[in-house]
Each structure stands twice: as C-alpha cells, then as structure tokens.
Structure 1
Amino acid sequence: MATPDSGAGPGSRGAPLNCTGAGGSSLCSVRAPGGLHELSNRRRRCGRDFRCWLRDSSAWLGVPPRRDRGLRAARKDSGETPAMKPYVCKQCGKGFFRQRDCESHIRTHTGEKPYVCKQCGKAFSSKAGFQIHERNHHAEKPYVCKQCGKSFVRHRDCEIHIWTHTGETPYVCKYCGKAFVRQTDFKRHEWTHTGEKPYVCKYCAKAFSTSHKCQNHERIHTGEKPYACKQCGKLFRTRSLCRTHEWTHTGQKPYVCIQCGKAFSKKSGWQTHKRTHTGEKPYVCKQCGKAYVAHRDYKTHVITHTGEKPYVCNQCGKAFSRQYRCEVHKRTHTGEKPYVCKQCGKAFSTSAVFKYHEQTHTGEKPYVCNHCGKAFSRQYNCQVHKRTHTGEKPYVCKQCGKVFRTSAVCKSHERTHTGEKPYMCRQCGKAFSGRAGWKKHERTHTCD
C-alpha cells in the first residue's frame, strides 16, 4: 500500500501515501500539484479510519493520518495557495479544502439551516454549530458550580467560571501586571505590549492579533456579508454587528454597568464605559505617550501621526481615517437612515445623532463634568467642555501649528490655508469653509 518510492512497510511512521489501494486501485481521483496530496496523507497510527482532506472521501487503509497540527503543517510546508482549494463558492469565490466546509459556507448565502435541534427546535446552518448547541444546552452537564448552581459540560469551563466568584486571576501580564481569568484573553492582551500580530490579510498584508479579526477584515475586500438580520434582512460582515443591529429592533441592552446601572447593547461600549469609573486608559500611543479609554479613539489619534486614511468611499473617492465615518458618509449618497425614533418616528443616518435626539424626549444628561458638575446629553460635548478646565488643545494645524480644542474648529481653520469651501448653500450656491457659517447663512433664506 506504500508508494513505490517510499519502500516502507505497513507499520512505518511518516511514509507518504497516495490515495491508492492494494493493486494500484484508486480510492481518490484528486491529484494536487507539488506533492500536496502525499504531504497531507502520512502514516501516523495503525487501525484508524483514513479520510482524505482534499477529496473528503473515506477509505479503510488501516494506516491513516491524524487530522491535526501535522496536517496543517503539511499544507503550510507545501506552499499551499488558494488555487489549491478544489471546492469554490459560486457566489463569493471563497475556496475550501473540504466539500462539507464549502457546503456549510454556501448556506450563509442561502440562509438554509438543515440541522434542527429536536428538543427546542432551533436550526443551524452547520453541523458544528448544531453540535455545540446540543452540547451546551441539552447535553448532560455534570460539573456544577457550588456557589451559584450553574452547570457545565466541561470541567475546565466550570473551573474558569468558579474564578469569577473567587476573584482568582491566574494569568498575569509580565509587562503591566494586569490579570486575567482566561488564557486566551491574557495572550491577546500581551500582544498589545509586544505588538505581535501573527494573522495577516491575504489581500492587503494588514496584520491582526487574532484570526477572528483577520477573517472579519478580509470580508471588507471580498464584500462578503454572511449574517442577515432576521427582522429586516440587512446583511452584516460579522455576527456581533448583526446581533447588535437586531437589538435596535428589540430595544435589548444586555450589558449593564454594576456601578451606575447604565445599560448597553454593545459589549465594547459597556467595557469602555466601565473605564470612566475606574479611570483606566489602557491604550497608549507609542509616539507621544498619550493614553485613551477607548480603542477607537486611540486608533484615530495614531492616524494623526501617520496621516493614513485607509477607508475610501466607492462613489466619490473621499477618504477617511475611520471606517465608521466612511460608512456614515456613504449614507449621504444612498439616503439611508437606519436609526428610527420610536416616539416620533424621525429617522437618522448616524447612531450618535439618533441617541442625542432620543434624549430630547427623555431630558437625560448622563455625562457629567468632574470639575464643575455640569451635565451633558452627549459624551463628546462633555469632553470638549472639560478642556475648558484643563486647557487641553489636542488638535494642531499642520500648516501653522496653531492648536484647537475641537477637531471641527481645527479643520475649519486649516481651510483658511487651503481655500477649501466644502459647504455650499443649496438655494444660492454660496460656499463656506465652516459648517457653522454655512448653517447660519441658510437660515437667512428661511427667515420671514
């Protein structure tokens, strides 16, 4: 059963195999270039079922490989490229080594969910997701937390959960001393110090600290949006974005601050808010040392050093430093206003303006200045106000070096150098460098 050039007996380890049975009969028709097929099929252990990962065909050879790290290493060593993935999605062109993986992926486009839980009726597009659900919700959970009674399928999960009661955090960062319950969270955190980003986008070479972030980023290039809102059908690139959007229909806000009771629909918003109580600023600029509470603010600041604007509008070519601003800008072309006030029905293109509008109904002013106690309905207005106490002026004109408290005033000033006047009156065509002057002028047309 060994290939002619191997000269190995049936019990040998590491001898390469083709998918060929006794007497030269072919058990698999696939032949990959560069010996990839042979590399993937190495003898590991006797007496186990052999499954060819290229053809997804099962055959009893008696000397199968283990489908583990060795197989992944073989693929890597062989110089694997996307062209070597024989199963390709017709809708988005994504390639797969295994037929069942391709079929499972296609269901993200079609919405088909063939795997149905017999106990609760919940349906799944993939067998793996279905099995995880059964294991987590309906399978026997022998490991029980003595403090709260919560039960778990795996002993390790129970052990990690118990640490949330005891306060034990066994994984400690050697750089800053921050401690973690989970090893995965600990590793990701350490990469913020080391700068390690092992996962690289195959389209633009941008690097990421987690494979999940890399996959989500790659969908920006492919345009793939596999997650659909069950209520309105809107498509999303990531599961978390889809789930957060669905909560705009239900009004659900599952993340609650234990200190002040404020609730959030996004986990990231909840985590950032908690730091306003603790004063923690974990995101530090390597160039100037400035620290930030929120990762998005840190990223925006870093770009002020590089001048990078990676997000480009595909309709007019305007570039942006932040993806969110690019998406909001695109709505000026499409007219989309996804945020609708439940009280008056008014629609908005941005979440921030929508929230600000909702507070006009409630009168809520949740953001309070810690210097003078003045309250604000918008966090940004509160931040700008605080700078009147601290004297901070973080925005610098690139041409003359003049500093400003707000980004808007800085940009308006910079236009006095460039002569740019992007705000144009729709009635008379007069152009303005600043938004405030433009709005003031437009009111002269509406006045009696």
Structure 2
Amino acid sequence: MAASAGSGRAGAEGPKGPGPLGARAPAEGQPALRSLPAGVRPAPACQQLITFKDVTVDFTQEEWDHLGPAQRDLFKDVMLENYQNFIFLGPLGQERTCETKNSTLEEDNYLGESSMNRFTMDTNEFGETFRQMEYLIEHHRIHSGEKSYQCNECEKAFSCNSDLSVHQRNQSGEKSYQCNQCGKTFNYNSYLTVHERIHSGLKPYKCTECGKAFRERRYLTIHLKIHTGEKSYKCNECGKAFSQRGSLNLHQKIHTGEKSYKCIECGKAFISYSVLTIHQRIHTGEKPYKCNNCEKAFRQRGHLTDHQKMHTGEKSYKCNECGKAFRDRGYLMIHQKIHTGEKSYLCTVCGKAFRERGHLTIHQKIHTGEKSYKCNECGKAFRQKGNLAVHQKIHTGEKPFKCNICGKAFRDKGYLIVHQRIHTGEKPFKCNVCEKAFTDKGYLTIHQKIHTGEKSYKCNICGKAFRDKGYLVVHHRIHTGEKPFVCNICGKAFTDKGYLTIHMKVHTGEKSYKCNECGKAFSSNSGLTMHHRIHTGEKPYICNECGKAFRQRGTLNDHQRVHTGEKSYKCNECGKAFKEKRYLTIHHRIHTGEKSYKCYCGKAFRQKGNLAVHQRIHIGEIPF
C-alpha cells in the first residue's frame, strides 16, 4: 500500500473544498494518498470516517509462525507506511508527536480499533514498548488527553475501552470469573489467574539476587527495591521515604488523621481497607492462614510467614551494629532504634516516648483505664492480650516453657529467658548511677527509683507509697488479711508467692545460696546478700535522726520507731502494742499457750532464744 506522488488528486483539496474522502492535501515532502481503485465509489459524506482495521492485513497465529524474519520485517515496514498515510485522513487538531524507531506518528486522528497484533513500536519519549498497534494508539491518548469512552451511569470518561469495562463492572458489582477450587469470584480474568496461583503454589517471578519467588510481577518489582535500597516516594511533611507509592499514601494519613474505613461491628476506624479486613477477622474468628507443620492458624499471612520461620530457624534480617538476627524485618527496624535512641511515638498525656506504636497504645490504656481482655474463668481483666494468655495458664496449669538446665517450667517465654540468666550469670541491664546490674529490665526500672526517690504507687487506705505496683498489691493484703499462697505441707499462708517459695525450703531443707567466705548456706538470695554484709561490714541503711546504720532495711524501720514512738502492732486480746511484728508474734503465744521450741529434756519455750539459753545448762556452759 505504498503511496504514489502522482496519484494525489483523489485526496487533494480543490478550490471548492475537500475531496470525496474529506482529506486535505499532504504537506510538501509528505507522500500523497493513492487514487481509489477502479469500481470503488467514495464513501458518502455521512460515512467519511474509516478505521485503521480497514487498511490492515492481519495474520492468524499459524500464518504468522510460517513467515520468515525478512517477511515479518517487510510486514512491519508496510504497516508503518500505511499508518503514516492513514493519519492524514482526519482532522489533526493540536499536533503532538510520539517518535517511533523509524518515524514520527501524529496524534489526535480518528483511528478506530485495530485487530493487528505482533507489531512492536517504541516511544522514545518514555521508552515504552507495545506489542500491538492499538496499544500504541491508546498510549497516544495519554499525551492528547483524549478520553473517548464514557460511562453512562456516572459520566466518568476513560482513554481506552478496557478501563471503561472494568469501571462498569465495579459499578454493577459484577464478578464474572469464578475460581473452581474455592468458588471465589473476581471482576476480571487476570485477577482470577493470579488467585489460582495460591492453590497451585505457582510463583513464576523469581528474584535473581536472593532467589525469593512471587506470584505477581509487581511484588517482585517491589521486592527488588530492598536490594537496590531505592525509595522513590518521599513524604513532604516529615521527609520519610518509601519504596511504594501506596505505602506513602498510607503514611500521609498519619499526618492528616484520616481514617476512612470503619468497622460496622465496633466502630473502630482504619487508614486502609486491608487493615479493616484483618480487623474484622477478630469479630468473625476467621483465621485463613494455617501452618502445615503444627496446624496453628493465623488471621494474617505475614504472621504465618513469621511463624514458619520458627520451624525453619531462619533469621534473614541482621543488625549491622551488633550482628543480632531476626526472623522479621519489622523486629529488626524496632531493634535498630535501640542503637539510634529513636523514640518516635509520644504520649500526648504524660509526654513519655516509645520506640513502638504498640507500646504507646498499651501505655495509653493506663490513662484511660481500659482493660479490654477479660478472663472467662475469674473475670480478671487485662490491658494486653498477651497478659491474659499468660494468666489463663494459671487456671489450666500449663507451663510450656521449660529450662533445659534445671528443668524448671514457666507459663511465659519471657520468664524462662530471665530465669536462664541465673544459670549464665548474664545481667544485661545496668544502672547508670551505681553500676548495679540486673537480669530483668523491670528490676532495673524499680531499682532506679531508689536513686530518684520516686514512689508512684500509693495505698489508698494508709497512704504508704511504693516504687513498684507489685509491692503495693502485696501491701494491700495486710489491710484485707488476704493470704492467697498456702503451704501444702503445713498449711501456713502468705501474702506473697516469694515468701511461700522461701518457706517451702524449710520443709525441703534446701539451701541453694552459699556464702563464698564462710560456707554458710541460705534458702534465699536475699538472705545471702544480707549475710555478706557481715563479712564486708556494709551497713547501707542509715537513720536520719541519730546516724545509726543497719545491714537490713527492716531493722532500720524498726529502729526509727524508737524515735517516733510508733507502735503499729497491737494485740487483739489485751490491746498491748509493739514496735515490731515479731514481738507481737511472741506475745501472742502468751495468750495461746503455744511453746514451739522444745528441748530434748521435754521442757518447751515460746522463743528460740530462751531455748538456746536453756540448752547451755545441759552442756555445762554458764549462760552469762
């Protein structure tokens, strides 16, 4: 269909107007359109527009496969020349060009829809390649801004028919493509194709760097940015950069406070539909992602992926500062804030800052008093789901975390980790003031309040204040008389579990803590610590009134009552009061007649000291 310069009359514009095809004369240097073949009449005025399909030669796949390379190149050259001739048949309007490898194609012509395939054309302006001529034509409309396809419902316009079709399906809710495996339906076939790979396990897109495979090309493209470090999308508010535009869009909602997606069950709002979908599974109980190894199910695919690394032991994400490795990238990012000191999440009530948003969310419940997680057995409520899970093991008696050194079992993995530091001697939490080290961060936090003098937890009955909430809980039991920890052997009850643990060693005779100086053994670490002060002469507890020093805080407390005259311990029988509880205990034996300390000669005494004095008579020692 090559053009002939001498046959331009059929399309030339005469003095009285355009020719029969409605085409104007070509510019100087441009090929003219050839004359119509004999026997072909010009189209009537109302049918002057023709489509590119009318002047194309199309091949079936079988025909195309039989063509040689030279024949295919000739086909492309002819079709390109046809296209150059064809674009002069319509009004040009505003001229814009998209340069191909071999020619310049003008836009804003009525081209219609071509069925010609396998015609590759490139645009130098954007470097895009098209497999079909109609794709190039659609691409031209991006530059021209032409949107020829309009929705009848909402009048929204589109540059190509396929976009309009997708839009109309979204409007109507039509989902024509159904999965044969699970019955799920989709708006169009490409979504179904990707979905079916979930069932088949097919992941055709593989990363050449690390070998990780993906079901969709776009996920591979996103993944590759991890290796290149590319983050093309930057927030104008805070400067944070992202590898995906969608991630930037979600991030910007943090600044605007926009939460467009609301749960119809509880009213909670979210910044994205996907987060809402995951949240709704809390209400439905749905856990679609199941582990093939242990059958444990999860609401989110990411949680399953992290869980499976427990079975494989894989820890792909390594800290460049200290070398510590993590199963999940998010954990690595949180860990790195330890090195940088970054605490991005600030409490608006008290100003306390946190490294993780989750920690801030939990902290804010202290101010609101919210305790969302309630035990079905005893009704006790908790701020965190994890604390409820650990608590419920009290009722079931489950202790799944066992020490491989001494065999002791724990309800929570965190307790096991702290316990194992007893065996290793590791004390990673160090006080900046006195250099004292601790096995657990909580112990360090309590200890630091000694230096600051902070006592945040106050008894609403007697006004006494404590550094730690646990101490306040134990103290409350003095007022209520509650002693929940009972010895199975002698029935003695205690206000604190630690006291029961120490007491049990009276029955077992266990004394695990031995003094390196004199070899004396003790049933508790605190007993050994106080004993050590005999050797060192340390008396850290000093009376502000008289300057007298003591090895134990309790002894100082008893001494201070000498100055105040306070006698807090009163006998219910006779009303006599005492400065120390132990004196009241001894006094009670007068009323009960109890004499717990018995000599082998049969004589009994109320106090251990009296028995010791008596026994000296038998050995011939003069007591004083």
Question: Which amino acid is the alignment partner of residue 181 of structure 1?
Answer: F
* Structure 1 contact 255–263 (Cα < 8 Å) conserved: yes
1:162 corresponding residue in structure 2 = 172
* Structure 2 contact 233–244 (Cα < 8 Å) conserved: yes
1: CA distance, partners of 2:191 / 2:365: 36
- Choose 196-205 or 276-285, whichever is displaced more: 196-205
1: CA distance, partners of 2:451 / 2:212: 49
C-alpha spacing 1:403/1:48, structure 2 compared with 1 (3 Å): farther
Question: Which amino acid is the alignment partner of residue 102 of structure 2?
Answer: A
2: CA distance, partners of 1:162 / 1:401: 64
> 1:194-219: CA deviations, max 9, x gaps?
33222212211112222222222222
* Structure 2 contact 429–439 (Cα < 8 Å) conserved: yes
Which one of the candidate residues 150, 169, 181 is aligned to 2:186?
Answer: 181
C-alpha spacing 1:65/1:189, structure 2 compared with 1 (3 Å): closer
CA shift, 1:284, in A, is 0.9
* Structure 2 contact 148–157 (Cα < 8 Å) conserved: no
1:100 corresponding residue in structure 2 = 126
1: CA distance, partners of 2:272 / 2:420: 35
Higher RCO structure (Cα 8 Å, ≥6 apart): 1
* Structure 1 contact 226–237 (Cα < 8 Å) conserved: yes
CA shift, 1:304, in A, is 0.9
Which one of the candidate residues 220, 223, 227 is aligned to 1:221?
Answer: 227
1:172 corresponding residue in structure 2 = 179
1: CA distance, partners of 2:395 / 2:194: 36
* Structure 1 contact 364–377 (Cα < 8 Å) conserved: yes
C-alpha spacing 1:163/1:337, structure 2 compared with 1 (3 Å): same
> 1:10-55: CA deviations, max 9, x gaps?
xx944169xxxxxxxxxxxxxxxxxxxxxxx9676564449xxxxx
2:69 corresponding residue in structure 1 = 15
> 1:53-81: CA deviations, max 9, x gaps?
xxx8520499996239xx9xxxxxxxxxx
* Structure 1 contact 387–405 (Cα < 8 Å) conserved: yes
* Structure 2 contact 263–280 (Cα < 8 Å) conserved: yes
1: CA distance, partners of 2:383 / 2:203: 38
C-alpha spacing 1:178/1:15, structure 2 compared with 1 (3 Å): same
CA shift, 1:351, in A, is 1.4
2:415 corresponding residue in structure 1 = 409
The question of 1:59 aligning with 2:69 is answered no
Question: Which amino acid is the alignment partner of residue 350 of structure 1?
Answer: E
Please show how residues 99-248 of structure 1 align to structure 2 within 5 Å.
Answer: 100=126, 131=142, 141-144=150-153, 154-163=164-173, 170-172=177-179, 174=181, 177=182, 179-182=184-187, 183-248=189-254
Report how many aligned residue pairs link the two structures: 348
2: CA distance, partners of 1:404 / 1:186: 48
> 1:160-183: CA deviations, max 9, x gaps?
44237xxx6742351xx2523345
2:512 corresponding residue in structure 1 = none
2: CA distance, partners of 1:390 / 1:157: 55
2: CA distance, partners of 1:318 / 1:204: 20
CA-atom RMSD in angstroms: 4.4
**Structure 1 length-normalised TM:** 0.63
Question: Which amino acid is the alignment partner of residue 165 of structure 2?
Answer: H
1: CA distance, partners of 2:166 / 2:387: 46
* Structure 1 contact 48–64 (Cα < 8 Å) conserved: no
Which one of the candidate residues 337, 347, 364 is aligned to 1:331?
Answer: 337
- Choose 197-206 or 423-432, whichever is displaced more: 423-432
2: CA distance, partners of 1:247 / 1:205: 34
Structure of greater Rg? 2
CA shift, 1:275, in A, is 0.8
1:27 corresponding residue in structure 2 = none
> 1:308-364: CA deviations, max 9, x gaps?
111112222221111111111112222333334455655432111222344445455
Please show how residues 243-262 of structure 1 align to structure 2 within 5 Å.
Answer: 243-262=249-268
CA shift, 1:299, in A, is 1.9
> 1:115-154: CA deviations, max 9, x gaps?
xxxxxxxxxxxx98x959x79xx87531538xxx999851
**Structure 2 length-normalised TM:** 0.47
C-alpha spacing 1:255/1:67, structure 2 compared with 1 (3 Å): farther
C-alpha spacing 1:321/1:101, structure 2 compared with 1 (3 Å): farther
1:290 corresponding residue in structure 2 = 296
* Structure 2 contact 317–332 (Cα < 8 Å) conserved: yes
- Choose 273-282 or 409-418, whichever is displaced more: 409-418
* Structure 2 contact 101–124 (Cα < 8 Å) conserved: no
* Structure 1 contact 328–350 (Cα < 8 Å) conserved: yes
2:317 corresponding residue in structure 1 = 311
1:263 corresponding residue in structure 2 = 269
* Structure 1 contact 143–158 (Cα < 8 Å) conserved: no
2: CA distance, partners of 1:434 / 1:220: 35
> 1:226-271: CA deviations, max 9, x gaps?
1111212211122232222211111111222222221112444322
SS in 2 for 1:100: coil
Question: Which amino acid is the alignment partner of residue 197 of structure 2?
Answer: W
